[in-house]
């Protein structure tokens, strides 16, 4: 090994990297929140007796799951700016990359969340829905008061694991030259000619964060299993 490591460009770059991390976390938070809400709706549509709704949800989920995230992001970086501009009369120079990324991730992840949530809803015994309707509850009430609270409780570990995956995937906004954490690390490394150190540093940071969260998920699973 004859490579001379020089880690000195990291301390000075920390504020810039932190700004990048905030963008990564922001995209993750928006996509998780939106993904769970829209994913729940999709899952309920898919399980509903109204056929067109079920077909729509199945088509949506299967389409997004068949296409690589890279391709989905390319689509959204292409379409969202045009749509936003034609609706809101934006100045052509407004930077909408962050919005495009958020919309892209949110719609893409909803497909994955909806599959998790559908499995969660199906894990609640059917007798409970029957019992709820025997008590005079409407379908919506049975869902809201009986099925979903239990389903979500069972799903918490899977939802969190998906959030970790999503956080890792946000590094792909690098393609739009948006300075998320990875983009920021790459830019600093490229500027200082220290790409090797910055890439290793970025990898280490992602590892620590994701590993910690996945250990938390594991603990949670253990505690839930004993309850």
Partner 1 sequence: MNYQWNWSIFSSPVPTGETTYLGWMLSGLQTTVTLSLCAWVMALALGSLMGVLRTVPNKWLSGFASAYVEIFRNIPLLVQLFIWYFVLPELLPFGLGDAFKQQLDPVTQQFVSAMVCLGFFTSARVCEQVRSGINSLPRGQKNAGLALGFTLPQTYRHVLLPMAFRLVVPPLTSEFLNIFKNSAVCSTIGLLELAAQGRQLVDYTAQPYESFIAVTLLYVLINVVVMGLMRVIEEKTRVPGYIGGK
In the complex, the residues that contact partner 1 under the rule CB under 8 A are 1, 3, 63, 66-71, 74-75, 78, 82, 86, 164, 168-169, 171-172, 174-175, 182, 186, 195-196, 199-200, 202-203, 206-207, 210-211, 214
Q: Minimum distance between the CB of residue 146 and partner 1, rounded to whole angstroms?
A: 27
Complex with partner 1: residue 37 or 63, whichever CB lies closer: 63
Complex with partner 1: residue 88 or 211, whichever CB lies closer: 211
Q: Minimum distance between the CB of residue 53 and partner 1, rounded to whole angstroms?
A: 22
Q: Minimum distance between the CB of residue 30 and partner 1, rounded to whole angstroms?
A: 18
Q: Minimum distance between the CB of residue 196 and partner 1, rounded to whole angstroms?
A: 5
Complex with partner 1: residue 154 or 168, whichever CB lies closer: 168
Cα–Cα distance between 53 and 43 in angstroms, integer? 10
Handedness of CA 112, 114, 116, 118 (dihedral sign): negative
Cα–Cα distance between 125 and 130 in angstroms, integer? 9
Complex with partner 1: residue 143 or 159, whichever CB lies closer: 159
Cα–Cα distance between 198 and 185 in angstroms, integer? 6
Complex with partner 1: residue 37 or 71, whichever CB lies closer: 71
142 near 47, Cβ under 8 Å?
Answer: no
Complex with partner 1: residue 41 or 74, whichever CB lies closer: 74
Residues 6 or more apart whose CB falls under 8 angstroms from that of 114 comprise 38, 39, 40, 42, 43, 46, 57, 61
Rg of the chain, C-alpha, whole Å:
21
Cα–Cα distance between 185 and 173 in angstroms, integer? 13
Residue 202's Cβ-side half-sphere holds a number of Cα atoms within 13 Å equal to 24
Burial profile 106-141: b = 16 or more Cβ within 10 angstroms, e = fewer: bbbbbbbbbbbbbebbeebeeeebeebeeeebeeee
Q: Minimum distance between the CB of residue 172 and partner 1, rounded to whole angstroms?
A: 6
Q: Minimum distance between the CB of residue 36 and partner 1, rounded to whole angstroms?
A: 21
């Amino acid at each position: 090994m004859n490579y001379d490591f020089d880690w000195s460009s990291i301390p000075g770059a920390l504020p810039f990297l932190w700004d990048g991390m905030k963008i990564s976390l922001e995209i993750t938070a928006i996509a998780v929140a939106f993904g769970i809400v829209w994913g729940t709706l999709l899952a309920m549509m898919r399980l509903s007796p109204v056929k067109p709704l079920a077909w729509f949800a199945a088509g949506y989920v299967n389409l997004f799951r068949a296409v690589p995230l890279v391709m989905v992001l390319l689509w959204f970086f292409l379409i969202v700016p045009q749509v936003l501009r034609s609706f809101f009369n934006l100045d052509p120079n407004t930077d909408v990359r962050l919005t495009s990324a958020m919309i892209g991730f949110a719609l893409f992840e909803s497909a994955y969340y909806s599959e998790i949530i559908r499995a969660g809803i199906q894990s609640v015994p059917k007798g409970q829905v029957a019992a709820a309707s025997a008590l005079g509850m409407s379908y919506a009430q049975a869902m809201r008061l009986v099925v979903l609270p239990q389903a979500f409780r069972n799903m918490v570990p899977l939802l969190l694991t998906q959030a970790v995956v999503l956080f890792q995937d946000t590094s792909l906004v690098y393609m739009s030259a948006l300075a998320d954490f990875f983009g920021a690390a790459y830019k600093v490394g490229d500027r200082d000619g220290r790409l090797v150190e910055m890439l290793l540093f970025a990898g280490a940071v992602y590892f620590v964060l994701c590993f910690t969260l996945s250990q938390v998920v594991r603990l949670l699973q253990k505690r839930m299993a004993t309850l």
